[in-house]
Amino acid sequence: MARAYNFSAGPATLPLEVLQQVQQDLVDYKGTGMSVMEMSHRGKDYDAIHQEAIATFKELCGLGDDWSVVFVQGGASMQFAMIPMNFLGAGATADYSNSGTWGNKALKEAKKVAALRGATVNVAADTQKDIPTRQPTEFAWTEGAAYAHICTNETISGAEMKAIPETAAPLIGDMSSDILSCERDYSRFSMFYAGAQKNLGPSGMAVVAIRRDFAEKGPDTLPTMLQYRTYTNENSLYNTPPTWGIYVFGETMKWVKRMGKENLFRQNAEKAKMIYDTIDSSEFWTPTAVKEFRSNMNVTWRIKGGDEALEKKFLDEAKALGMSSLKGHRSVGGLRASIYNAFPVAGVEALVAFMKDFEKRNG
């Protein structure tokens, strides 16, 4: 069976060896006589999977015992609401960086909670509508803010935050599309989170890393399943967690560890550079993100400044060659290659070769 080169922004490519391991374990997990999907989440076999997944992720991120790693269903979009519900109290202010579509979605949810509670949301930076796209570099932080929220990589605009800003307030990061893809000092955060379906595993949950003392700041009057302390105190086992997703997440984290972070980070940069060098080599291609903010995870560009007919031809021919999901997000159009951690180098090489051939035939 030939596998497509899947350039989708998510759900995205998983490591082939992880898929093969999952396939091997699907019906009978390591001699237990059952699938992980059939196991009791209270049993010792699943408990070992759960604990190892958390421990490996904490090791990769350099997190100590003062941190909890929890699994929350609803993806990153659920976090947009849970964060202000837990940390934006009456009369308080939260700072938000409005850096693009996802930063804006988080901002909108915070404003809804603020309106209910008599709180304030301050837009500390706003680059959402900047063309070419970019991430902010200057922020108007609020003194005494309850927290500050950033999105480190905007998948739709293809703009990545290369340096984490300094904040006095507890810093929260949506890292859904670039977590564990490059060097980051995770200790700078009080909380960071990611929808699993890009760099961590299958869709259906968010992986949330949160300082234990920060989790306790949330009000205990919230519904139980909307309190972070419920997840930290119960190790994500208050109710039945997404056990299959956690298992695949754990296998993916073991794959990252085998790869070696430094090797993986270098490979990510090299993959992106191959595409950006091709874009920059000719006026046939038009980059859409400011050079110093170009994402290593989501490469975005146009053909001849936005020739939609030619872009459709490009997409059709690419799909025929086994290169899937290169169409830009419906809100902006154009082209996008999402090349997350597990995306193979061979797929990038195939795309670059096709781009050069396509330009030669259509330039």
CATH number for the domain that contains residue 314: 3.90.1150.10
Domain count, the chain: 2
**Same-domain pairing of 155 and 283:** no
Annotated catalytic residue 28 = no
Place of tokens 């976090």: 79
pLDDT digits (tens, 9 = 90+) for 208-240: 999 999 999 999 999 999 999 999 999 999 999
Nearest alpha carbon to residue 55 among 265, 268, 340, 246: 246
Q: How far does the chain reach from its first CA to its final CA, in angstroms?
A: 34
Among 235, 258, 281, the domain boundary falls at: 258
**Same-domain pairing of 26 and 151:** yes
**Same-domain pairing of 306 and 331:** yes
What does the pLDDT read at residue 210?
A: 98
pLDDT digits (tens, 9 = 90+) for 43-55: 999 999 999 999 9
**Same-domain pairing of 272 and 173:** no
Annotated catalytic residue 255 = no
Report the pLDDT averaged over residues 238-265: 97
What does the pLDDT read at residue 305?
A: 83
Report the pLDDT averaged over residues 165-173: 97
Predicted confidence (pLDDT) at residue 17 exceeds the cutoff of 80: yes
- Choosing from 67, 102, 244, 301, the catalytic residue is 102
What CA–CA distance (Å, rounded) separates 277 from 127? 25
**Same-domain pairing of 161 and 286:** no
Q: How confident is the model at residue 363 (pLDDT cuts 50, 70, 90)?
A: confident
**Same-domain pairing of 251 and 163:** yes
- Choosing from 58, 111, 198, 254, the catalytic residue is 198
- Choosing from 95, 174, 255, 327, the catalytic residue is 174
Q: Which amino acid is at 167?
A: T
Tell me whether residue 354 is in a domain: yes
Mean per-residue pLDDT of the chain: 97
Tell me whether residue 71 is in a domain: yes
Q: Are strands 67-73 and 205-211 parallel, antiparallel or unpaired?
A: antiparallel
CATH of the domain at 159: 3.40.640.10
Q: How confident is the model at residue 1 (pLDDT cuts 50, 70, 90)?
A: low
**Same-domain pairing of 204 and 59:** yes
Nearest alpha carbon to residue 290 among 139, 168, 157, 109: 157
Annotated catalytic residue 198 = yes
Predicted confidence (pLDDT) at residue 183 exceeds the cutoff of 90: yes
Among 240, 258, 276, the domain boundary falls at: 258
Predicted confidence (pLDDT) at residue 192 exceeds the cutoff of 80: yes
**Same-domain pairing of 235 and 267:** no
- Name residues whose C-beta falls within 8 Å of residue 223's C-beta, 6 or more positions apart in sequence: none
Among 229, 258, 287, the domain boundary falls at: 258
**Same-domain pairing of 237 and 325:** no
Asked whether the beta carbons of 66 and 211 are under 8 A apart, the reply is yes
Report the pLDDT averaged over residues 135-154: 97
Compute the chain's Rg from CA coordinates.
21
pLDDT digits (tens, 9 = 90+) for 77-93: 999 999 999 999 999 99
Range of the structural domain that residue 33 is part of: 18-258
**Same-domain pairing of 174 and 55:** yes
What CA–CA distance (Å, rounded) separates 286 from 303? 6
List, in sequence order, every residue forming a beta bridge with 327; answer none if it has no partner. 335
Distances (CA, A) of 311 to 27, 194, 200: 43, 31, 31
Tell me whether residue 1 is in a domain: no
Asked whether the beta carbons of 20 and 338 are under 8 A apart, the reply is no
Report the pLDDT averaged over residues 42-70: 97
Tell me whether residue 4 is in a domain: no
